[in-house]
Structure 1
Amino acid sequence: MNRLIGRVWHALRGPLQRRVVWLAHAKFTAGVTGVVRDDAGRYLLLRHRLWSGSRPWGLPTGCARNGEDFRDTVVREVREETGLEVEVGALIRLRSGFELRMEVAYEATVVGGELEIDPLEVLEARWCTADELPEGLQESHRELIQGTMPTA
């Protein structure tokens, strides 16, 4: 039986093999987060319109587009939500998340632009130190901030 499966697999070749693999595995949405800091080391937090009313605060976050490099997702999402330009740094999280979601997070530093929120997605933007984090902050984002705090 194993030989037969092997022969069938090799006979499928390229596109058909990829389709079988695609059908047999979970499909993930890639949620990408930027842990954005300014020159003073403060974190950019947003009160998101479309998030839960009990946990509306979080870091700039969005879904990667098909084929998009995750670093480019951070740059695009921060620009779309806040008007700010960022330079993306180190990957700090890559894991499976809620249901069929993959969570990706990068450090990022503001390098330009003017803070102007997109009112469709964001109700408020605030620069905070790690000691000033607002109530209603997503716990996973609190963990990201605490994990990236600069050491003295």
Structure 2
Amino acid sequence: MTKPAPGDEAMPTVAAGVILRDGCLLLVRRRVPEGALIWQFPAGKVERGESPKDAVVREVKEETGLVVAGTERLRERIHPETGVHIVYFACSILSGTAHRAAPDEVADITWVPLRDVLHYIPGGLYLPVQRYLDTTATRPAPGGYGGRVDRAV
């Protein structure tokens, strides 16, 4: 991980939620794109005094309406497109229906079958995230949560 140069503002940390359900990955499209990124994981900045795990739970709820638990810290990196420090968390759905809960920030939300992820994220996923999805996609969801999901436009 790189550190900001002396005198630069501290690099913010962003927590991103990797949410898989029935072989589909939850992605959001921001109103304001971040670099070349169009579709991405629900995510947001870690606030002062907040842990990245608490931040991902808060951000997923704020953006998608889902109540989730951060079940596994996957990895972290400096994102090559945005230069932002990102911590990725696998999340399980506890309750709720996915929808555009923050329409001023999120333009669209969708569940993408894993086979179609490259149509949404042409550069592919961060390798540790892809490995997690490869090993998790075939396991049934904990507690059998099937929750209803609306695709908001």
User: So what's the TM-score if we normalise by structure 1?
Assistant: 0.71
Over alpha carbons, which structure has the higher Rg?
1
Letter in 1 for 2:72: A
Letter in 1 for 2:24: R
Per-residue deviation at 1:142? Answer: 5.4
Per-residue deviation at 1:71? Answer: 0.8
Q: Specify which of 110, 113, 120 is matched with residue 96 of structure 2.
A: 113
* 1:79-111 Cα shifts (integer Å, max 9, x gaps): 000111111111111234468732211100111
Letter in 1 for 2:88: A
2:53 match: 71
User: Taking structure 1 as reference, are residues 102 and 140 closer, same or farther at Cα in structure 2, changes over 3 Å only?
Assistant: farther
Question: Which is further off, 60-69 or 113-122?
Answer: 113-122
Report sequence identity in percent: 27
Distance, in Å, in 2 between the alignment partners of 1:110 and 1:149 is 15
* Equivalent residue runs for 1:58-137 within 5 Å: 58-97=40-79, 101-117=84-100, 118-133=102-117, 135-137=119-121
SS of the aligned residue for 1:114 comes to coil
* 1:108-143 Cα shifts (integer Å, max 9, x gaps): 011111222121111111112210116342747454
SS of the aligned residue for 2:117 comes to coil
Distance, in Å, in 2 between the alignment partners of 1:130 and 1:144 is 15
Per-residue deviation at 1:148? Answer: 1.5
Letter in 2 for 1:110: I
1:9 match: none
Contact 1:130–1:145 under 8 Å retained in 2 = no
Structure with the higher helix share, 1 or 2? 1
Distance, in Å, in 1 between the alignment partners of 2:117 and 2:124 is 13
Structure 2 gap segments, 5+ residues each: 139-153
User: Taking structure 1 as reference, are residues 130 and 52 closer, same or farther at Cα in structure 2, changes over 3 Å only?
Assistant: same
**1:33 and 2:16 matched:** yes
Distance, in Å, in 1 between the alignment partners of 2:129 and 2:77 is 17
User: Taking structure 1 as reference, are residues 88 and 104 closer, same or farther at Cα in structure 2, changes over 3 Å only?
Assistant: same
Q: RMSD of the alignment, in Å?
A: 2.7
The count of corresponding residues between Structure 1 and Structure 2 is 129
